[in-house]
Structure 1
Amino acid sequence: MSWLGPVAGVLLLIKMCTLLAFEVLDLLLPTWFLGFGEASALRGKPKAINILETVRNFLDGVFQSAKYPLSVYFPSTCVVGDPIEKFTVSHAVGMTRSVATKCVLALIEQAGLSDAEFVEFVPLIKSCLYIKCTFESYSSDEDLLQRSILSKMVVAESTRPDIIQLLHSFSLSVAKQGLVYSAVIDSKIADFNRRSSVDSGRISDAERQMLKLLPLQDKRYLSVLSQHWDAFKATESAIPLRTLVKWTDRALPADMSIGSEWKLILTCSALKNLTFLMRQIAIFLRSLKEAMNTAKKSINLAFRAPKLRDPNPQIGYDMCCLWCHFATDFEKMLGPTVFAKAETQFLRGQFDREMTEKCRTCDAKIVAKDFRFISVLMGTNTNVQSLQVVAAAAESELEQARLKAVTARLAQEEHLWREYLDAMKQWTTKNSADRTTFLLREKDDLEKATKELVDGSTPVYFLDKPGFLSTTVQSAVHKFSVAPDLFQVMAFSKYIVQIGTAVSEFVNGNPKFTCGLVFAPNCAEWGSAYSEKKLNEAVATAETQLRTDELHMSVRRGTLTFAESSIPNHSRRRGFHEFFMVVSDVEESGQLVSGFSSSALWVRTTVADVPLLSTSEYIVPDPSMLHSGSGLSKSQRLKQSLSGQQLWHKLLPRLWHGMPTSALAKPAVYVDILPYDLLLTKALLHFNTQPKSVLPQGKLASIVWAKDDSGTDHRRGMQQWLISGTMNYTQKMVDDKILTLPGYTPKIYTAMKSPQYNEEDFVMTMPLVECEGQKAALPFRQAWLDSPDGRFNACKIQFDAVVAAHDKEFNVSGVPFKGQKRMAPLADESDPMEALLGLAPAAETKAQLEKPLVEISAADMDLLIDAKKQLWLLAKKSTIISCKKPLLLLWGEYIKDDVLKKRQEANNAWLMEYKFDSPDMKAFHFHELGNVPAFEEGLTTIKSFLKFLEQHAIVQPSMACHEITVAEDSYKINMTKECCFEKKPLPANQTPSANNGGSLLSFSGTDLGQHLKLVHRLKYNLTDSSKGIFPQKPGIFLTHDMKVEAGKLYRLPLS
């Protein structure tokens, strides 16, 4: 009968936004919307006895939910605006009736009724299929819980929650708040009682006392009591609340005239309370069975229950105390099997006569063998035990002695292991601090030596006034000339310059030893930058300027021809580029006085097979950030392609070829007055390290002075970038052992000796230190457990308890060591299902999603974006999707300074602040260093990533727009410049993928709701032009791991 499911074609779209608009709202919900698990009941699962009674009431009539509606609420997994899923609505009041409706429908469906019989049940079916419910808004979970309990107490038709349900409710509330139950239960009860003005709506003194006592009982106590009250109403059961209160915390009278032995016997304990509870239930069930066998009609427990209970619970509790006192001795004498039977007989009252006699006489010398039922169960009526029993007793005594020795030995090994772990912890802390201090000191030494080299060999000057350009260059040259190792610097020098007047000043200022190289323009003026005609005109203009008579320079046009293999197939640029070499036109005897007039570059004017720079080595326009999505302009690409170390490796040897030998023996000074990359610097550093170089030793001065008219002065930033880039590359050469810095010798950190343990001290256990993600553990050796020393018979239970206690602290997996290199992974102590997203499969199919549909494929899933820009997940296999890896990345770029200010003022851009002010803030971290293992944690705190980098000798890295300060074992992070990521629409020429698909979704702010979240991605980058932590495109992540089924479609709602 398909009528039990949703009617075909009917789609219920009850929206959460509607519910929240009212303080109280009436709903008509189908029964399949209402949950039936324990989690769907605020006060815990309903009692079976109450469910059966409700089912009987429904069968006698119909369910009048209009008169007695259920009170419901929606769990935190429900999202505002989403359709209500099956079995998701929870109950504040009415769980018993809700489950009863499902039982009625299931009974009717399985009854095999004929059509005529079925018609009679139609009214009942209708009343159970659709149920009136009320939703009342609440301020907090605590408010909802108190309302639920209070409504059950004050409504006459409702059954008052029993003490187990109250304990469940308060325990859940306390756990959610992270409090200690015993510390706050009194205040919780007081707060609840203040809500009610009538006594029936308050927690009574007896209930309050039991709420404090129940958590102190044996863990089986609640289970036994719950099972009994599941079958019988508490007031009609073997042990109603008043009996529980009276005997669970029994105190002996102060004037009781018994000896100390019996006072010990009769003192209450958790085990004695449990035994008393089980005895009361056993006696009640025995009496009920006898009454049912003799009764002529059904028994009314509301009337008969008191007569079926233990008539003398006081002596009954005394007997339980006496039994528990000698239980261990009884078990030794009888053996486990016979003892279990004897215990059942005791609970049913079969030994009451003798036990009552013993309790009344209170013989101080009583021992286990004095009980007559023991001798009967042993097969003899005398106090002389059989030979078998004597042998068993002797064996038991031997095992007890051996168990004590084993326990003592185990305690010793545990103590040694704790001492080792404590020492290891202290050593790890100190070693980490010492290593950090060493790395910081080593970094400072390296940076100091590097800075001295850079300042002396490749300085970068900032010049605010162009009129002093020539003076600054001459000053730099003079600085080089007076250096101890460059006293003959004026012999031959070369200036790389790009402006006619400045070039003239330099080459004519020292006509014998100076030349200039000027690269022709790569594009024309603004507005016609790529016009071939205008480009030729620009080249001609530059040449005309250089050949002006007033400049007194001799100029030759040269050609760089490109290596065909380095030109991309799709490129339409010409296979050559022009340059101009200039020297002073001063002559002696009809010959130019410049020593560079004999250079092969001057004579031949060509350089062949010059490789273009690979696009992967291009410099990002913003030197302090790694952009996400912005490309380089055509002019920037043209400019950067004609660059790189390979260009200078071709050009400089050609320049010096043909020069007198005396020129090569003396150092040269290079001056770059329009620097924009580090490639000349790198080339010179490499030339200087070659023992048989065809070039003289060289020094380079870079002058940062020119600026455009955009309004933003980037010159200081450019100077800093050139300095830091040079230092980074120099340090990389030191790390690669290509370059040696004067006054600096790399040191290797040597840790102090770590604590050690002697494996011979561990006979029963095997110490396993922490490694490869495996926690330190001390498992039992399987070989020892299999040996005679590790096998117990009579004391097996006690030994198993010893093993369990040991494993709980030292070996959570519980797996003994069997000789393999490492044990199996530790069992996860947390319930993995608790953290999973509570998303159910969608009712829609992929074919039903609104087109056009963007599909992005991944290994375990396909991500779908429909026409409404909603995100869907189609699982390829049953698995768990990790929340630590991004689903999609955004398209856009990081912006700052004037650009950011304009976006903020416009107030129409989507911006995500890039700001970290604590090392405990989280981001997704990664790197691509070839010699360092991958960072597996991914989404974690910045502190964790910094510690990982420190383990690989990377300490106190720079971070874009932030400053990181490292102490011995602490980190501070501060933002130094405001920066934001701007999400941009995906360009039409970009194919949607996981690397950009986030920009296709529709969301206004940075809060994506309870299922998805936006997270910054940070990458430690180490290239020839950048070093440090840089932001990457932000990612969209799940808030928790998500379990999916193969072939199922899931909607991932955005806020």
Structure 2
Amino acid sequence: MVSTATRSKVEHVMKKLFAVADIEDANTCLHPMDWLASIPDMASMLEEQQLRVQNVLAGSGGWRPPAHQDVYPPGIAPGEVLDLLLPTWFLGFGEASALRGKPKAINILETVRNFLDGVFQSAKYPLSVYFPSTCVVGDPIEKFTVSHAVGMTRSVATKCVLALIEQAGLSDAEFVEFVPLIKSCLYIKCTFESYSSDEDLLQRSILSKMVVAESTRPDIIQLFHSFSLSVAKQGLVYSAVIDSKIADFNRRSSVDSGRISDAERQMLKLLPLQDKRYLSVLSQHWDAFKATESAIPLRTLVKWTDRALPADMSIGSEWKLILTCSALKNLTFLMRQIAIFLRSLKEAMNTAKKSINLAFRAPKLRDPNPQIGYDMCCLWCHFATDFEKMLGPTVFAKAETQFLRGQFDREMTEKCRTCDAKIVAKDFRFISVLMGTNTNVQSLQVVAAAAESELEQARLKAVTARLAQEEHLWREYLDAMKQWTTKNSADRTTFLLREKDDLEKATKELVDGSTPVYFLDNPGFLSTTVQSAVHKFSVAPDLFQVMVCDLTKLGSAFSKYIVQIGTAVSEFVNGNPKFTCGLVFAPNCAEWGSAYSEKKLNEAVATAETQLRTDELHMSVRRGTLTFAESSIPNHSRRRGFHEFFMVVSDVEESGQLVSGFSSSALWVRTTVADVPLLSTSEYIVPDPSMLHSGSGLSKSQRLKQSLSGQQLWHKLLPRLWHGMPTSALAKPAVYVDILPYDLSLTKALLHFNTQPKSVLPQGKLASIVWAKDDSGTDHRRGMQQWLISGTMNYMQKMVDDKILTLPGYTPKIYTAMKSPQYNEEDFVMTMPLVECEGQKAALPFRQAWLDSPDGRFNACKIQFDAVVAAHDKEFNVSGVPFKGQKRMAPLADESDPMEALLGLAPAAETKAQLEKPLVEISAADMDLLIDAKKQLWLLAKKSTIISCKKPLLLLWGEYIKDDVLKKRQEANNAWLMEYKFDSPDMKAFHFHELGNVPAFEEGLTTIKSFLKFLEQHAIVQPSMACHEITVAEDSYKINMTKECCFEKKPLPANQTPSANNGGSLLSFSGTDLGQHLKLVHRLKYNLTDSSKGIFPQKPGIFLTHDMKVEAGKLYRLPLS
């Protein structure tokens, strides 16, 4: 690690060599290659560096230079690559050693700085080299004779690093710090590829720079150098063959980034026509600044190097001659653009508090009006000969520098705008000043003053016309953007709907084929349905089959079905004795009336076992035990640490041995599954397709149905079941039949094992049969079937999204929008287009830089100009704030008085201490909510702020009810009910989601339509909605209620701590209308989990009807009707 002090010594030498005292002289900075060329006997210096490394490391084990290529290698076959290790003194550092010409100084120096931060990793990023055509294979490689196809910048940078360290005068202790870097710069990994011709080598070199992400794309100067050299070597005429050369090059690349662009093509054709100084000036500037961060990037270069006058331009022939472009005018324009840029950069550096980031600031430092700049250059060049005669060579050179830096812009702009046909050289005031003829100056100033008003009128007219043109372009863009947005939104919705249909169709086909769910209304046909389901899966003979029967899922109702279940299991295992078994999980509650008695529970388990062991059923039964992982049992839980199950096979024997293949299963032999993780109560579900139930709010009966669940249970049990089985059992699919399905635990486990590349289980297919009613008192079997199907489809679709599962016949597609309308920012000189973004409206403010420029300042016509600005802002920039090159401020909400929308509640006369006890306190960030003994609501402000009406103050405690339960409550007429019904997408609710890959929905309380649009933006289209159906057609939505449902507010249980999540139920109100200050609002959540997907109702919230302004420390009463 190089210390800061040591590095600073090297950087000091670097700064002394390459930095300029005045940034306006940046074009005269020393090029690193020129500096290296000035070092006498470079090879000896490099070899001495190597010798010093050996000397300083001699006392610590030493260092021996690595073996390297020291003779010219033989040729290699086409397509082969030869790896070489070359010392840096073999690699040339002159312009002749760079195939594409001199690399840019700024890139070399940036690479040097990067090397100083670590080492040169040439093994990872080797140079591509080639050897002299005159070299003899086997001869020693001469110093500095190897040239670069790719990597000249890095190669020169290594020599710069070594030379800088040499000149820094480091002590041995300091030198040692740089040894790893020095060694990496002394010997460099290179590659050599065969090439068919010089043309082939050149094209490969350019193409590799264009397509490799780590490389810098060759600039137009390097491209011109390369093509010129190639054409010259072939003895051809550049202008005659350049088009075919470019076309031939572009055919070699299959990607756009590897082709010569239209702008590059145009510039390659223009460069030979320019003044001989043009390339030198541009190259010097791009040596000091990256092209994209310079005064004149490529697109500006192309536009103004080939400028054509508009055909309808109404000026005289003399001015048409003046403004017609030429090579000299192009050179002058280039020099002016650079001078303006450097002057602006110098001013910015003088005022900046930190270093300037040119990647961001460069556009603001360039000439703000290049069009008038080019006109001024044309005017200067037209009279340059006359100016030089009048001023003499010395003064003229000084005047030209002043012109290029913009010191005569005001007068030159006036001349270009008025286009006086009789203009002559002596009319220029700055000429008179430079000549010292004061009388003439005074005369001209009087004339100028007299014409000032007329000139401003003309300028105002031109400005107004230009502004009208920019406004017209902006209107056209906004209209086109509006049409595009409408069409793109409709196309995207159509695409997403089609994609959703394709995905659901493919998923449904897979569910029907591999995990079907059957509904059986008549229990008498259970065995027949089981046989039919197994037969459907019979893709091969003698498939191993497992029947699963979890009695915990029936609750206390299991006793009604235990005889029928025993018969079904018997018929299953005896129907195909060799290949079948049954897994029956013991009940975890007793019969109705004594369901939770431990004694009765033990009797219930015994009853189930007795039934399975009945002789008439001809089954061999073994009792097994699931022991739970202690870490998954909550400390406060009083449940036992095990659960019993029964593994069942046919009692048919051959030679005294059971014939069932499962009799060799480790589960049958050991009858134990250890360390089974329990499902967290927060993950408990209720298989209800129309509601989203919270695991923490379930009844004891519902919780017991989930106490033996979870994918991890089957991850433990299934490998145990199949371990020890015959090899043939794993070679074919296995069939599972779940006759008491309740959740997706087994389904998820089988899908997991089926998608593992090296699974220890056979591929599994699962048939679930819904037929028995549980102890809830409600027949929800149809709903359970629907939930199991939709839950399986949701889980499969999630696996598809995660690229775990592939659906037959379905390939995910990505929506590709048609290209949006674009505007050319260069068309907007006076104004700045600001498109709609992140809730901010589109606007067209004036540019502050233009308003501050001479073009934007008026004296005599200031009142008229202010009126033009005001009229423009009224339509295009409501805030009236000009664009200053900073991040946009949020647009004003509206022009109404914001206080009108606030609740008019004054602080209460009471204090907190005076409120009637007991007092419930619920704390929030900006306030405390207080509920007194009369169940009244109070708000105590912690700070002066505005409390939003878009976020709930308190939520209610209770549950959503429907079907028979709702009917009973309605008939009893003694329950507080809030109807959950939406029949229009314009109805409001509080919406939210908790998706990790989607930004939060900031609007919160808004229309359903707004929430649906938000979901569509994130590829969620036409979601399901509990008890409702949503229909989407392009940009319209329909919503209809499909099942009656209400929220029932309930008293807060004694074991619940009052909080913002339940405190609403502590208040006293009879109906759903809370008055003019508070309102009840439904909360809707888009949910996406393994088992549920769609919009589900959450506990309703109590909201303010309007925003409320509060003062710190004040108490407010929020009255309820």
Q: Please give the TM-score of this superposition, normalised by the length of structure 2.
A: 0.59
C-alpha deviation, 1:831, in angstroms:
2.5
Is 1:720 the equivalent of 2:786? yes
Output the CA distance in 1 between the equivalents of 2:138 and 2:935. Answer: 16
Output the CA distance in 2 between the equivalents of 1:586 and 1:204. Answer: 81
What's the counterpart of residue 335 of structure 1? 392
Is 1:65 the equivalent of 2:122? yes
C-alpha deviation, 1:464, in angstroms:
1.2
Greater shift after overlay, 750-759 or 222-231?
Answer: 222-231
**Are the aligned partners of 2:683 and 2:695 in contact in 1 as well (CA < 8 Å)?**
no
The structure-2 alpha-carbon separation of the partners of 1:349 and 1:859, relative to structure 1 and needing over 3 Å to count, comes to: closer
C-alpha deviation, 1:243, in angstroms:
65
What's the counterpart of residue 457 of structure 1? 514
Output the CA distance in 2 between the equivalents of 1:981 and 1:405. Answer: 68
1:748 aligns with one of 793, 798, 814: 814
Output the CA distance in 1 between the equivalents of 2:758 and 2:192. Answer: 88
**Are the aligned partners of 1:1018 and 1:1030 in contact in 2 as well (CA < 8 Å)?**
yes
C-alpha deviation, 1:3, in angstroms:
92
The structure-2 alpha-carbon separation of the partners of 1:872 and 1:280, relative to structure 1 and needing over 3 Å to count, comes to: farther
Output the CA distance in 2 between the equivalents of 1:329 and 1:259. Answer: 21
**Are the aligned partners of 1:923 and 1:1015 in contact in 2 as well (CA < 8 Å)?**
yes
**Are the aligned partners of 2:558 and 2:774 in contact in 1 as well (CA < 8 Å)?**
no
C-alpha deviation, 1:898, in angstroms:
1.0
**Are the aligned partners of 2:832 and 2:846 in contact in 1 as well (CA < 8 Å)?**
yes
What's the counterpart of residue 3 of structure 1? 35
Output the CA distance in 1 between the equivalents of 2:132 and 2:1051. Answer: 36
The structure-2 alpha-carbon separation of the partners of 1:1050 and 1:65, relative to structure 1 and needing over 3 Å to count, comes to: farther
Output the CA distance in 1 between the equivalents of 2:431 and 2:1048. Answer: 85
**Are the aligned partners of 1:238 and 1:284 in contact in 2 as well (CA < 8 Å)?**
yes
**Are the aligned partners of 1:494 and 1:670 in contact in 2 as well (CA < 8 Å)?**
no
Output the CA distance in 2 between the equivalents of 1:1017 and 1:514. Answer: 49
The structure-2 alpha-carbon separation of the partners of 1:495 and 1:37, relative to structure 1 and needing over 3 Å to count, comes to: farther
The structure-2 alpha-carbon separation of the partners of 1:765 and 1:167, relative to structure 1 and needing over 3 Å to count, comes to: closer
Greater shift after overlay, 1009-1018 or 806-815?
Answer: 806-815
**Are the aligned partners of 2:559 and 2:591 in contact in 1 as well (CA < 8 Å)?**
no
C-alpha deviation, 1:822, in angstroms:
3.5
C-alpha deviation, 1:330, in angstroms:
42
* Secondary structure at the counterpart of residue 497 of structure 2: helix
C-alpha deviation, 1:781, in angstroms:
1.1
* Secondary structure at the counterpart of residue 84 of structure 1: coil
Aligned residues: 1046
The structure-2 alpha-carbon separation of the partners of 1:1007 and 1:335, relative to structure 1 and needing over 3 Å to count, comes to: farther
* Secondary structure at the counterpart of residue 983 of structure 2: coil
**Are the aligned partners of 2:927 and 2:943 in contact in 1 as well (CA < 8 Å)?**
yes
C-alpha deviation, 1:639, in angstroms:
3.5
**Are the aligned partners of 1:681 and 1:700 in contact in 2 as well (CA < 8 Å)?**
yes
C-alpha deviation, 1:114, in angstroms:
95
Greater shift after overlay, 73-82 or 829-838?
Answer: 73-82
Output the CA distance in 1 between the equivalents of 2:150 and 2:294. Answer: 24
**Are the aligned partners of 2:621 and 2:648 in contact in 1 as well (CA < 8 Å)?**
yes
C-alpha deviation, 1:211, in angstroms:
73
The structure-2 alpha-carbon separation of the partners of 1:1038 and 1:386, relative to structure 1 and needing over 3 Å to count, comes to: farther
Output the CA distance in 2 between the equivalents of 1:638 and 1:784. Answer: 74
**Are the aligned partners of 2:544 and 2:734 in contact in 1 as well (CA < 8 Å)?**
no
Is 1:212 the equivalent of 2:269? yes
1:733-812 → structure 2 map (5 Å cutoff): 733-812=799-878
* Secondary structure at the counterpart of residue 710 of structure 1: coil
Q: Residue deviations 1:561-617, cap 9 Å, x none?
A: 111111111112121111111100001111111111111111111111111111121
* Secondary structure at the counterpart of residue 674 of structure 1: coil
Greater shift after overlay, 528-537 or 987-996?
Answer: 528-537
**Are the aligned partners of 1:31 and 1:128 in contact in 2 as well (CA < 8 Å)?**
yes
Output the CA distance in 2 between the equivalents of 1:146 and 1:354. Answer: 49
Output the CA distance in 1 between the equivalents of 2:176 and 2:750. Answer: 98
C-alpha deviation, 1:138, in angstroms:
99
Q: Residue deviations 1:935-983, cap 9 Å, x none?
A: 0000000000000000111000000000000001100000001111111
What's the counterpart of residue 923 of structure 1? 989
Output the CA distance in 2 between the equivalents of 1:133 and 1:611. Answer: 57
**Are the aligned partners of 1:850 and 1:866 in contact in 2 as well (CA < 8 Å)?**
yes
* Secondary structure at the counterpart of residue 909 of structure 2: coil
* Secondary structure at the counterpart of residue 627 of structure 1: coil
The structure-2 alpha-carbon separation of the partners of 1:170 and 1:551, relative to structure 1 and needing over 3 Å to count, comes to: same
**Are the aligned partners of 1:497 and 1:673 in contact in 2 as well (CA < 8 Å)?**
no
C-alpha deviation, 1:622, in angstroms:
3.9
C-alpha deviation, 1:771, in angstroms:
1.3
C-alpha deviation, 1:659, in angstroms:
0.6
C-alpha deviation, 1:1048, in angstroms:
1.1
What's the counterpart of residue 765 of structure 2? 699
**Are the aligned partners of 2:90 and 2:144 in contact in 1 as well (CA < 8 Å)?**
yes
Residue ranges of structure 2 left out of the alignment (5+ in a row): 1-32, 37-52, 58-75, 548-556
The structure-2 alpha-carbon separation of the partners of 1:352 and 1:409, relative to structure 1 and needing over 3 Å to count, comes to: closer
**Are the aligned partners of 1:601 and 1:607 in contact in 2 as well (CA < 8 Å)?**
yes
Output the CA distance in 2 between the equivalents of 1:820 and 1:902. Answer: 63
The structure-2 alpha-carbon separation of the partners of 1:158 and 1:663, relative to structure 1 and needing over 3 Å to count, comes to: closer
**Are the aligned partners of 1:480 and 1:489 in contact in 2 as well (CA < 8 Å)?**
no
Output the CA distance in 2 between the equivalents of 1:333 and 1:522. Answer: 111
Q: Residue deviations 1:463-483, cap 9 Å, x none?
A: 111111111111111111158
The structure-2 alpha-carbon separation of the partners of 1:181 and 1:622, relative to structure 1 and needing over 3 Å to count, comes to: farther
Output the CA distance in 2 between the equivalents of 1:708 and 1:686. Answer: 29
Output the CA distance in 2 between the equivalents of 1:653 and 1:480. Answer: 22
**Are the aligned partners of 1:628 and 1:893 in contact in 2 as well (CA < 8 Å)?**
no
Q: Residue deviations 1:476-519, cap 9 Å, x none?
A: 11111158998999999999999211111110111000000111
Output the CA distance in 2 between the equivalents of 1:81 and 1:913. Answer: 93
* Secondary structure at the counterpart of residue 542 of structure 2: helix
C-alpha deviation, 1:208, in angstroms:
74
The structure-2 alpha-carbon separation of the partners of 1:534 and 1:32, relative to structure 1 and needing over 3 Å to count, comes to: farther
Q: Please give the TM-score of this superposition, normalised by the length of structure 1.
A: 0.62
Greater shift after overlay, 896-905 or 283-292?
Answer: 283-292
C-alpha deviation, 1:632, in angstroms:
2.3
Output the CA distance in 1 between the equivalents of 2:666 and 2:344. Answer: 120
**Are the aligned partners of 2:980 and 2:1045 in contact in 1 as well (CA < 8 Å)?**
yes
* Secondary structure at the counterpart of residue 167 of structure 1: helix
C-alpha deviation, 1:528, in angstroms:
2.5
**Are the aligned partners of 1:856 and 1:863 in contact in 2 as well (CA < 8 Å)?**
yes
Output the CA distance in 1 between the equivalents of 2:759 and 2:1115. Answer: 66
**Are the aligned partners of 1:152 and 1:159 in contact in 2 as well (CA < 8 Å)?**
yes
1:279 aligns with one of 332, 336, 349: 336
Q: Residue deviations 1:836-890, cap 9 Å, x none?
A: 1111111222122222221111111111112222111111111111110011111
Q: Residue deviations 1:3-48, cap 9 Å, x none?
A: 99xx99999xxxxxxx999999999999999999999999999999
Q: Residue deviations 1:509-540, cap 9 Å, x none?
A: 11000000111111222233232222222212
C-alpha deviation, 1:546, in angstroms:
1.0
**Are the aligned partners of 1:653 and 1:694 in contact in 2 as well (CA < 8 Å)?**
yes
Identity percentage of aligned residues = 99
**Are the aligned partners of 2:956 and 2:1061 in contact in 1 as well (CA < 8 Å)?**
yes
Greater shift after overlay, 722-731 or 30-39?
Answer: 30-39
1:233 aligns with one of 274, 278, 290: 290
What's the counterpart of residue 391 of structure 1? 448
Q: Residue deviations 1:158-200, cap 9 Å, x none?
A: 9999999999999999999999999999999999999999999
Q: Residue deviations 1:640-695, cap 9 Å, x none?
A: 12211111111011000001111110111100000011110111111111111111
The structure-2 alpha-carbon separation of the partners of 1:150 and 1:546, relative to structure 1 and needing over 3 Å to count, comes to: closer
What's the counterpart of residue 64 of structure 2? none
C-alpha deviation, 1:626, in angstroms:
2.2
**Are the aligned partners of 1:459 and 1:702 in contact in 2 as well (CA < 8 Å)?**
yes
The structure-2 alpha-carbon separation of the partners of 1:462 and 1:95, relative to structure 1 and needing over 3 Å to count, comes to: closer
Output the CA distance in 1 between the equivalents of 2:173 and 2:726. Answer: 120
**Are the aligned partners of 2:583 and 2:647 in contact in 1 as well (CA < 8 Å)?**
yes
**Are the aligned partners of 1:496 and 1:670 in contact in 2 as well (CA < 8 Å)?**
no
C-alpha deviation, 1:1025, in angstroms:
1.4
Output the CA distance in 1 between the equivalents of 2:200 and 2:935. Answer: 38
1:171-186 → structure 2 map (5 Å cutoff): none
Q: Residue deviations 1:689-715, cap 9 Å, x none?
A: 111111111110000111147663211
The structure-2 alpha-carbon separation of the partners of 1:890 and 1:511, relative to structure 1 and needing over 3 Å to count, comes to: same
The structure-2 alpha-carbon separation of the partners of 1:898 and 1:393, relative to structure 1 and needing over 3 Å to count, comes to: farther
The structure-2 alpha-carbon separation of the partners of 1:921 and 1:166, relative to structure 1 and needing over 3 Å to count, comes to: farther
The structure-2 alpha-carbon separation of the partners of 1:221 and 1:843, relative to structure 1 and needing over 3 Å to count, comes to: farther
Greater shift after overlay, 986-995 or 173-182?
Answer: 173-182
**Are the aligned partners of 2:209 and 2:218 in contact in 1 as well (CA < 8 Å)?**
yes
